[in-house]
Amino acid sequence: MDIAVIGSNMVDLITYIDRMPNAGETLEAPAFEIGCGGKGANQAVAAAKLGASVMMVTCVGDDVFADNTVRNLQQAGVDTRHVKKVTGVSSGVAPIFVDSASQNRILIVKGANDRLLPADIERAAPALQACRLMILQLEIPLETVYAAIDFARRQRIAVILNPAPASRELDIAYACQCDFFIPNETELEILTGMPVDSEENILRAGRTLLEKGLRNLIVTLGQRGALWLTGDRVEHVASLPVKAVDTSGAGDAFIGCFAHEYVRHGEVLQAMRQASAYAAYSVTGKGTQRSYPDASQFLDFITAQQQGK
Ligand code: RIB
Ligand code: NA
């Protein structure tokens, strides 16, 4: 196995809106879509669609969504032997609102994802030991994230920690044990309590994390690409100019593709370039996972971009 994702799955309930209703107001919205999401599952599916061998450790509830979630992971080629079904709780769901400027607002109801425990990592240990890279996010209990990082360190498995959604409770000492720490601007702002309204301020905020011992900080910047800070080095990778339809899950697309590329060749900048392009492709389509291209669709997209089409 190349990659293990220990994290969440959610059912995305996406409503396209002209504006949010006010309290007490009923408002008609133009469209609705249901899709498979969750930051962990999104990242796993992106990497698997690109050809990585990926396993996922995650929990589903005992409702109508559970089987569909497992089937969806399998269809993308993700190994689901360590997906746990929890009785008496709902699957994770995410009501998402996408406005006419293609900006999204996401609510998450963790449901079964809150039942992913350190013991589940122990149970999956024989399979996890054979992985080269582990990806973690924050839609599962923090104690499970910490147990996974401890496990990966003992087994010398590289770790990507995506601190999403942002949590002030995250212990930076654990982040420092990871090979890559990949927040977006909002998450960086919340983690550091510092402004991120200019590139200069982003660098300033980022440096405070490096001073605490972070090895590689990659800040995703949406349509402005991504920044990589390591030691005294700063690198910026631009994104591709595309017409955005729905930016939901673009950060997950970046991380899934980055992980796949990094496992393949170990070149951080090259992996960031591919990941930015993969995320750009994803914003051109509605939904989260369903807008992720497979390897051949992605290659066509890159080729067309290079030819200036
Ligand atoms: O990052 C996007 C994801 O966040 C959505 O798929 C939603 O499920 C939430 O987890
Ligand atoms: Na999308």
> Where in the sequence is the domain holding 267, given as residue range(s)?
3-10+37-91+112-308
CA angle 250, 254, 257 (to 5 degrees): 130
Candidates 288, 289, 291: which one to mutate for ligand 1, based on the most atoms within 8 Å of Cβ? Answer: 288
175 Cα to the center of ligand 1, angstroms:
21
Burial zone of 190 (CB within 10 Å; 0-12 exposed, 13-18 middle, 19+ buried) = middle
* 32 phi/psi in degrees, rounded to 5: -140, 145
* 126 phi/psi in degrees, rounded to 5: -60, -40
Number of folded domains that form the chain: 1
Which is the closest atom of ligand 1 to the Cα of 288?
A: 6
Q: Which of 48, 25, 146, 138 is nearest to 92 (CA)?
A: 138
Q: Whose CA is nearest to atom 1 of ligand 1?
A: 249
- Asked whether the predicted pLDDT for residue 15 surpasses 80, the reply is yes
Residue 290 inside a domain? The answer is yes
- Average pLDDT over the chain reads 96
Q: Which ligand is nearest to the CA of 37?
A: 1
Which is the closest atom of ligand 1 to the Cα of 37?
A: 6
User: Is the CB of residue 159 less than 8 Å from the CB of residue 179?
Assistant: yes
Which is the closest atom of ligand 1 to the Cα of 251?
A: 1
Residue 87 inside a domain? The answer is yes
Residues with Cβ within 6 A of ligand 1? 10, 12, 37-39, 42, 94, 106, 108, 139, 248-249, 251-252, 288
Q: pLDDT tens digits for 103-134?
A: 889 999 999 999 999 999 999 999 999 999 99
Q: pLDDT tens digits for 138-189?
A: 999 999 999 999 999 999 999 999 999 999 999 999 999 999 999 999 999 9
Instruction: Outline where the chain has alpha helix (H).
Output: 39-49, 64-75, 118-128, 142-155, 172-175, 185-192, 199-211, 250-265, 268-283, 295-306
| Cα gap 54→41, rounded to integer Å | 10
Residue 20 inside a domain? The answer is no
Residue 200 inside a domain? The answer is yes
pLDDT tier for residue 308 given thresholds of 50, 70 and 90 = confident
- Asked whether the predicted pLDDT for residue 201 surpasses 90, the reply is yes
User: Is the CB of residue 160 less than 8 Å from the CB of residue 54?
Assistant: no
Residue 300 inside a domain? The answer is yes
Residue 103 inside a domain? The answer is no
pLDDT attached to residue 309: 66
* Annotated binding residue 220: yes
- Asked whether the predicted pLDDT for residue 284 surpasses 90, the reply is yes
Structure tokens at 124: 């999956």
Match 């067309």 to its residue by tokens.
304
Strand 158-161 versus strand 180-181 pairing type:
parallel
Q: What's the ipTM?
A: 0.99
| Cα gap 68→289, rounded to integer Å | 14
User: Is the CB of residue 211 less than 8 Å from the CB of residue 188?
Assistant: no
212 Cα to the center of ligand 2, angstroms:
34
Match 């959610």 to its residue by tokens.
10
104 Cα to the center of ligand 2, angstroms:
10
Q: In what order do the strands lie in the sheet with 10-16?
A: 31-37, 10-16, 93-98, 104-106
CA angle 44, 3, 239 (to 5 degrees): 60
Which is the closest atom of ligand 1 to the Cα of 36?
A: 6
Q: Which ligand is nearest to the CA of 249?
A: 1
* Annotated binding residue 225: yes
Q: What DSSP state is assigned to residue 255? A: H
Q: What DSSP state is assigned to residue 107? A: -
* Annotated binding residue 221: yes
Count of other CB atoms within 10 angstroms of residue 82? 18
122 Cα to the center of ligand 2, angstroms:
34
| Cα gap 110→9, rounded to integer Å | 9
Number of separate helices (H) and strands (E) present in the chain: 10, 13
* Annotated binding residue 18: no
The residues that are catalytic are 252
CATH of the domain at 243: 3.40.1190.20
* Annotated binding residue 37: no
pLDDT attached to residue 246: 87
- Asked whether the predicted pLDDT for residue 45 surpasses 80, the reply is yes
